[in-house]
């Protein structure tokens, strides 16, 4: 592993990460720590939940990229499990942290705080790799978490318009983290839908005539938190 995250006391091996480029600094929205000693895992976890929004350093030695990022101003979804024991030492832990707003919209904060639309990949029972694209995830989040009559097929139009108008920006990722976008809370979805129907880019039956542009390799613009 060539990616590491460091706080004031320890350095941990990272499998993957995703950062949201907020105007007050990059913020960790996805972090997978490779299996390692539970004390190391615990020290990084403590830095992320101690309420001080401590800055952590992320460095990818292979690409030469480095970032200074802070935690969310809220709790993460935490996934953890034991990994195989190595040479009789303490059983190593695997840890994944995900921003709650990457998997579900909170009606109480919708329109007030940014949220995230990410790609989700898995292998089906036939061994075939499958993917839920970020545009589809965006439409699903809006359909599930808002009053808007969203059709899942509108996802490419919704994301393309948000990107074009600066209401969305790509996440900064390292390792096998999901591709994704941070979405501004004040994005005018009703207007985007209305204009899309008016100009034939989407239909009420759920059709969509829009393709998502390829992700830019440039540094993404900052988004207001």
User: pLDDT confidence of 218, banded at 50, 70, 90?
Assistant: very low
Q: Which pLDDT tens digit goes with each residue over 179-214?
A: 999 999 999 999 999 999 998 888 888 777 777 655
Nearest 5°: the CA angle 221, 138, 30 is 60
Q: Which pLDDT tens digit goes with each residue over 113-163?
A: 999 999 998 888 888 888 899 999 999 999 999 999 999 999 999 999 999
How far is the C-alpha of 206 from the C-alpha of 157, rounded, in Å?
11
91, two tokens:
């059983």
Phi, psi of 127 (to 5 degrees): 80, 15
pTM of the complete model: 0.86
Buried b (16+ CB within 10 A) or exposed e, 84-103: eeeeeeeebbbbbbbbbbbe
Domain ranges, ordered by start, for the chain: 1-98, 104-212
How far is the C-alpha of 10 from the C-alpha of 12, rounded, in Å?
7
Q: 135 in helix, strand or coil?
A: helix
DSSP string, 71-101: --SSPPEEEEEE----TTSPPPEEEEEE-GG
């Amino acid at each position: 592993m060539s990616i590491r995250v460091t706080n004031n006391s320890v350095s941990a091996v990272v499998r993957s990460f995703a950062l949201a480029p907020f105007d007050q600094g990059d913020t960790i929205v996805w972090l997978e720590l490779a299996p390692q000693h539970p004390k190391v895992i615990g020290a990084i976890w403590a830095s992320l939940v101690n309420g001080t929004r401590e800055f952590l350093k992320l460095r990818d030695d292979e690409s030469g990229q480095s970032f200074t990022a802070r935690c969310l101003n809220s709790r993460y979804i935490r996934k953890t499990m034991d990994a195989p024991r190595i040479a009789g030492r303490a059983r190593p832990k695997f840890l994944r942290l995900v921003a709650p707003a990457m998997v579900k919209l909170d009606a109480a904060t919708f329109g007030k705080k940014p949220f995230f639309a990410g790609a989700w990949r898995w292998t089906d029972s036939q061994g075939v790799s499958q993917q839920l694209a970020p545009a589809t995830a965006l439409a699903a989040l809006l359909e599930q978490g808002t009053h808007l009559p969203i059709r899942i097929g509108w996802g490419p139009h919704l994301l393309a318009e948000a990107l074009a108008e600066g209401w969305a920006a790509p996440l900064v990722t390292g390792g096998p983290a999901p591709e994704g976008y941070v979405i501004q809370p004040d994005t005018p979805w009703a207007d985007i839908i209305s204009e899309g129907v008016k100009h034939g880019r989407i239909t009420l039956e759920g059709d969509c005539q829009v393709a998502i542009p390829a992700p830019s390799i440039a540094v993404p613009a900052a988004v207001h938190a």
